[in-house]
């Protein structure tokens, strides 16, 4: 395969993105809009997958887009285009205006309050590190990861493949209140999944590493080795008898509990009254052991930013203090629907960090005595309205404070409100997955349904 140039340029440079966003605002003003917001963006990416040593896919993306929102009083219209030429931008604005003129007024609609917008030059958060891999270099890394996984044990007999991906992007967000901001960012990842067999039994597992800066990625060999070791250790898995026991969520899956919390504490769920955390601000929702911080300004992290998707300034805050919910995750719109103020979370949460305890993973296993370690979750059995929780799980059975054997074909069940309140410990084996950093989480008691 011929080599390809490294670091392909973005489809548009930052100045062109600025021109497109500002042109959209000017077109909206000329059409009588009382307010407007525009976001222009460009991205380029490459993804290479190798399976059983052979190249399976090579994918590129090279995209650009502009989204515009216009307001006529409290009537709102949205439109988008992938063509950022002035005539196409003008047509998108016309479409947004036509939509706004035919929609009902919404008292919560409108731009953020000007005082809440981020002002000034945003210092770098170290988010832009183009990898610059050629296709041949990416293939070599993927082969290295997969080979390391397959070399772990002769019982690894098949592969789901290894993937090496890179993505670079830039954007400009502007509105008619005078806000204008944007910055480039990058993301790099290496992942690998393999299958292990022993007689008729077969198990699979995976591992991955993702960072803004590829220099901080786990080595390809390390990613593959972890994937292979995790697959082999699941061989011999069996179900267990139904019981109520402690459950330890390994750090790799513990972040899913934080995800359920964010969903329930988000404005869209709350103003629709579709959350088990309704009216819980200022009340205990977690065990007193839990402190949860939102850290938007951590350099180099995947969910770092100086402002949210509306231009509202972000700020470090403690979301859960000794188990007490101190605030929600609100955009301008959801905040107005609730009669509250935006928290700078249009677009989601920013780097949630769960304060670790003093025990490592092995210490938590010893502390639980008897129960289930969960290493992978399956299914979507979570009811955000009631908090009822029921998901398929695989992992390991613990007796006498030691892992005894792998477990499969079980379901863990409970209620998120009860689970949050029954967190007995958070490990110091902190793992960052996306915008969440947490160690393993030990829940005092859940129903494990097996035989």
- With residues binned 3-state (H G I as helix, E B as strand, rest as coil), the percentages for the chain, rounded to 5, are 25, 40, 40
Q: Report the run of H or E that residue 258 belongs to, with start and end.
A: helix 251-264
Cα–Cα distance measured from residue 356 to residue 43, given in angstroms and rounded to the nearest whole number:
36
Q: For 116-172, how does the pLDDT look when each residue is reduced to its tens digit (9 = 90+)?
A: 999 988 789 999 999 999 999 999 999 999 999 999 999 999 999 999 999 999 999
Sheet holding 292-294, edge to edge: 324-325, 317-321, 292-294, 352-354, 436-438, 431-433
Mean of per-residue pLDDT scores for the chain: 95
Q: Report the run of H or E that residue 76 belongs to, with start and end.
A: strand 75-81
Tell me what pLDDT residue 1 has: 33
Cα–Cα distance measured from residue 277 to residue 294, given in angstroms and rounded to the nearest whole number:
18
Tell me what pLDDT residue 120 has: 82
Please give the model's pTM, rounded to 2 decimal places: 0.93
Residue 6 has pLDDT above 70, yes or no: no
CATH architecture of structural domain 14-232: 2-Layer Sandwich (3.30)
Helix (H, G, I), strand (E, B) or coil at 270: helix
299-314 mean pLDDT: 97
Whether 162 and 249 have beta carbons less than 8 Å apart is answered as: no
367-379 mean pLDDT: 95
Residue 174 has pLDDT above 70, yes or no: yes
φ and ψ at 109, to 5 degrees?
A: -75, 150
Q: For 339-359, how does the pLDDT look when each residue is reduced to its tens digit (9 = 90+)?
A: 999 999 999 999 999 999 999
Residue 4 has pLDDT above 80, yes or no: no
Q: For 219-262, how does the pLDDT look when each residue is reduced to its tens digit (9 = 90+)?
A: 999 999 999 999 999 999 999 999 999 999 999 999 999 999 99
Within 10 angstroms of residue 446's Cβ, the number of other Cβ atoms is 24
Q: By C-alpha distance, which of 428, 250, 275, 446 is closest to 354?
A: 428
Helix (H, G, I), strand (E, B) or coil at 439: coil
Residue 5 has pLDDT above 50, yes or no: no
CATH 3.30.2290.10 domain residues, the chain: 14-232
Residue 3 has pLDDT above 60, yes or no: no
Locus of tokens 């989480």: 441
Tell me what pLDDT residue 11 has: 86
Where are the alpha helices (H) located in 8-55, listed in sequence order? Answer: 14-30
Cα–Cα distance measured from residue 131 to residue 384, given in angstroms and rounded to the nearest whole number:
39
Q: For 106-118, how does the pLDDT look when each residue is reduced to its tens digit (9 = 90+)?
A: 999 999 999 999 9
Residue 380 has pLDDT above 90, yes or no: no
Cα–Cα distance measured from residue 425 to residue 358, given in angstroms and rounded to the nearest whole number:
9
**3: which DSSP letter?**
-
Within 10 angstroms of residue 272's Cβ, the number of other Cβ atoms is 11
Q: For 14-69, how does the pLDDT look when each residue is reduced to its tens digit (9 = 90+)?
A: 999 999 999 999 999 999 999 999 999 999 999 999 999 999 999 999 999 999 99
pLDDT above 90: percentage of residues in the chain: 95
Tell me what pLDDT residue 8 has: 60
Whether 305 and 182 have beta carbons less than 8 Å apart is answered as: no
């Amino acid at each position: 395969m011929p080599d390809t140039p490294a670091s392909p340029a973005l489809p548009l440079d930052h100045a062109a993105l600025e021109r497109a966003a500002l042109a959209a605002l000017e077109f909206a003003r000329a059409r009588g809009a009382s307010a407007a917001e525009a976001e222009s963006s460009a991205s380029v990416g490459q993804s290479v997958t190798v399976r059983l040593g052979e190249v399976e896919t090579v994918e590129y993306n090279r995209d650009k887009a502009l989204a515009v929102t216009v307001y006529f009083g409290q009537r709102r219209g949205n439109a988008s285009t992938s063509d950022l030429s002035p005539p196409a931008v003008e047509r998108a604005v016309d479409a947004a205006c036509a939509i706004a003129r035919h929609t009902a007024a919404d008292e919560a609609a409108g731009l953020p309050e000007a005082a809440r917008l981020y002002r000034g030059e945003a210092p770098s958060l170290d988010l832009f590190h183009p990898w610059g891999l050629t296709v041949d270099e990416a293939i070599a890394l993927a082969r290295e990861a997969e080979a390391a996984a397959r070399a772990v044990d002769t019982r690894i007999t098949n592969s789901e493949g290894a993937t090496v991906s890179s993505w670079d992007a830039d954007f400009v967000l502007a509105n008619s209140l005078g806000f204008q901001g944007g910055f480039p960012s990058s993301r790099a990842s290496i992942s690998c999944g393999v299958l292990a067999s022993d007689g008729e039994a077969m198990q699979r597992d995976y591992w991955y590493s993702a960072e803004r800066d590829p220099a901080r990625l786990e080595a390809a060999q390390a990613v593959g080795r972890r994937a292979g070791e995790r697959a082999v250790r699941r061989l011999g898995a069996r179900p267990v008898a139904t019981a109520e026991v402690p459950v330890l969520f390994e750090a790799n899956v513990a972040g899913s509990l934080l995800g359920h919390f964010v969903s329930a504490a988000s404005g869209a769920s709350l103003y629709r009254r579709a959350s088990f955390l309704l009216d819980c601000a200022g009340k205990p929702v977690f065990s007193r052991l839990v402190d949860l911080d939102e850290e938007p300004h951590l350099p180099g992290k995947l969910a770092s930013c100086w402002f949210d998707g509306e231009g509202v300034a972000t700020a470090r805050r403690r979301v859960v203090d000794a188990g007490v919910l101190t605030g929600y995750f609100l955009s301008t719109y959801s905040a107005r629907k609730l009669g509250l103020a935006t928290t700078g979370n249009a677009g989601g949460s920013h780097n949630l960090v769960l304060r670790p305890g003093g025990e490592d993973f092995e210490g938590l296993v010893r502390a639980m005595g008897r129960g289930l370690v969960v290493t992978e979750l399956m299914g979507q059995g979570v009811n955000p309205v009631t908090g009822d929780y029921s998901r398929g799980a695989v992992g390991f059975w613990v007796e006498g404070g030691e892992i005894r054997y792998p477990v499969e074909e079980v379901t863990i069940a409970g209620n998120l409100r009860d689970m949050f309140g029954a967190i007995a410990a958070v490990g110091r084996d902190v793992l960052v997955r996306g915008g969440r950093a947490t160690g393993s989480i030990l829940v005092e008691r859940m129903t494990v349904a097996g035989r």
